Amino acid sequence: MRKAMIGGTGITPFGKFMDSGVRPLAERAVSDALKDAAVDIGDVEMVFFGNAAGGLLNGQECVRGQVALRNTGLLGKPIVNVENACASSSTAFHLAHMAVASGSVEVALAIGAEKMSNEDRSKPIKALEAAADLAELEALKARISPDGAGTGSVFMDLYSSVARDYMAASGATAEDFARVSVKQRHAGALNPIAQFRADVDVADVLASRMIADPITLMMCSSIGDGAAALVVMSEQAAAKRDIQPVRILATEIRSGQGDDPEAAPVATAAARAAYQAAGLGPEDLSVVELHDAAAPAEFILSEQLGLCPPGEALALLHSGRTALGGAMPINPSGGLISKGHPIGATGAAQLVELADQLRGRAGPRQTEGARIGLAENGGGWIGNDAAAAVVTILAAVARH
């Protein structure tokens, strides 16, 4: 396998854009990524389009990428539609990397786009439910809400159940979860594309509407719309252009084994494979983007990714190491909690943030001297674990 690089990135603002469909969002992200990579449409040899729930949300099935990219000039090229729950666009990136690293193409394009805001508020909830095994959905609901008093959102109830288990095991409190949200909202306030751009304090988070005890509204990621794109190219193709590339050290995808109580969590399995492929460990990381669909996820994933020893995630947060200005900021983009979570775009957006950090382009969110970045993007739920996880490790390239 040869070396592959991110040559350019593009991202739209994240938010609720009731008057916009997927197409204009994807077009903007693609245009910006191609320009950033000094790449013309004719240079792109293969396209991977990540979208999680377009069929359920707006009825567009089967040819979502071809429809979204219809006016970009990309039709005629191989377009692969990728659907893998919230990990759709990180999976698209994984495939683009494979295409380039294998030598099949010199330049590939990975895109994630999602339009979730809808006048019918039940549609996004139903779409998210479809990221679980529908044959066991009622049993899952009964297990995580044994009193039958669910919120109507199976994933919020699931996060609530996981959060309560983590509190019992670790001594974490609702105030600790609120501190994660405060950290993420502060970073988001400095991110021009974030859905939520205001600082909050612990009291604000705790006082926000209860969604599923102990999780309040400000501890949750929000339904939204957006798109992100990345140009993946060979080292030789990057060398021909006046650009600032980012090296792809590893991108690994694993499916969860939630029916096997002895199996490692899927995020751990993907991270171990990525560390091995990259030839480094969590101690080498400068910056991390992880899948904080709800605030407790930062604690759980910090341990699963090896960012701290088991049981030490609370201490990691309180140390300040993971805040902006710390030695290893987690979610300097604002994370899903503040940046937003248009599910099919999330994985690509994490990689755009890492690329910005590693190229010194993150403005007031910049991690000084950032050299190595890791992104973890999960998706769906099977049994007792996420259905999929993609872990990607990127490295800065010295400018000549």
pLDDT reading at 147 higher than 80: no
Q: Which two tokens stand for residue 182?
A: 């405060």
Residues 42-54: tens digit of each pLDDT:
999 999 999 999 9
CA 127 to chain CA centroid, nearest Å: 18
Range list of H helices, the chain? 22-36, 54-58, 64-68, 88-101, 122-129, 137-144, 154-170, 174-189, 202-207, 235-239, 266-278, 296-304, 313-319, 335-339, 346-358
Active-site residue, 86 included: yes
Is the Cβ–Cβ distance between 344 and 226 less than 8 Å?
no
Q: Which fold has domain 4-120+223-393?
A: Peroxisomal Thiolase; Chain A, domain 1 (3.40.47)
Residues 134-146: tens digit of each pLDDT:
999 889 988 888 6
As a whole number, the mean pLDDT across the chain is 96
Amino acid symbol at 354? L
Domain residues of the chain, as ranges?
4-120+223-393
Residues 281-336: tens digit of each pLDDT:
999 999 999 999 999 999 999 999 999 999 999 999 999 999 999 999 999 999 99
pLDDT more than 70, % of the chain: 98
pLDDT reading at 368 higher than 80: yes
User: What's the count of helices (H) and strands (E) in the chain, helices before strands?
Assistant: 15, 11
pLDDT reading at 400 higher than 80: no
Tokens 């970073």 belong to residue: 187
pLDDT reading at 347 higher than 80: yes
CA 100 to chain CA centroid, nearest Å: 22
